[in-house]
Amino acid sequence: MAQRPSRRAGKAVSGKPASRPATAKPKAAAPKSAPVKAAQRPTRAEAEEAVRTLLRWAGDDPAREGLQGTPGRVARAYEEWFAGYRDDPIAALDATFEETDGYDEMVVLRDIRMESHCEHHIAPIIGKVHIAYLPRSHVVGISKLARLVEIFSKRLQIQEKFTSQIADSLNAALRPKGVAVVVEATHHCMSTRGVHKPGVLMVTSRMLGAFRTHDATRREFLNMIGNPTTREQA
């Protein structure tokens, strides 16, 4: 009986490697958020009534002269503090520039002031953001980096998520060689309540691409923004 030719795993009878289906390179995903749909949002009147309820719960009378306008002012303040839910962070980075004369060194924007609110107590988070990236083929206007910080800071936040959202959005929009983000902030949820520890500075970072894999690149960025513990707190 004729012996059948053997077939090795991964090779055809001819000895040539078996063809494999092409796999598409995964794209970086932008941070996902699920803001409340407009149809589900309470009305302004309902929001103001909720403020009156809180004033009564605190022990005061929302009908007294000094508090009569407070519900409306609080609603308007919320519109300003949480305006970031209405904006798309990736769209904010749409305008890029390719005429860079081959510039491929680090781009750093440091000391971007951020004002946000803790999602656990709605207490202020005040601090600074430092952003760096290594361009691959194009750059983005520096005002867009500040705008990215503004969009995410105008949402209820924890600092760790805020840091990742900035880095991941910039990475998804520009596809650079690397992205680095450092955030330094004070949290009023622990300085004005709870443990009452003022003067504490929280530092978070996210390093992607070359900033994660190359120690020298990461050190250069950290040297450029300085040591957070020796600089003036927000």
187-217 residues labelled b (16+ CB within 10 A) or e (exposed): bbbbbeeeeeeeeeeeebbbbbbbbeeeeeb
Catalytic residue among 119, 188, 214, 233: 119
What backbone torsions phi and psi does residue 182 show, to the nearest 5 degrees? -125, 135
Q: In the annotation, is 121 catalytic? A: yes
Q: Which of 118, 188, 214, 233 is catalytic?
A: 118
Tell me the CA end-to-end span of the chain in Å, nearest whole number.
86
Which member of 189, 214, 220, 233 is catalytic? Answer: 189
Q: Which residue in 46, 49, 79, 120 is the catalytic one?
A: 120
Using CA atoms, how far apart are residues 195 and 127, in angstroms rounded to an integer?
A: 20
φ, ψ at 91 (rounded to 5°):
-65, -30
**Distance (Å, rounded) from C-alpha 216 to C-alpha 114?**
28
CA 25 to chain CA centroid, Å, is 24
- Please identify which residue in the block is written with the tokens 């760790």: 160
Question: Measuring CA to CA, which residue among 83, 154, 164, 170 is closest to residue 113?
Answer: 154
233 is catalytic: no
Using alpha carbons, select from 148, 187, 186, 154 the residue that is nearest to residue 167. 148
150 included as an active-site residue? no
99 has catalytic annotation? no
Residue 3 annotated to the active site: no
Question: From the candidates 117, 130, 165, 187, which is the catalytic residue?
Answer: 187
Catalytic residues: 118-121, 159, 187, 189
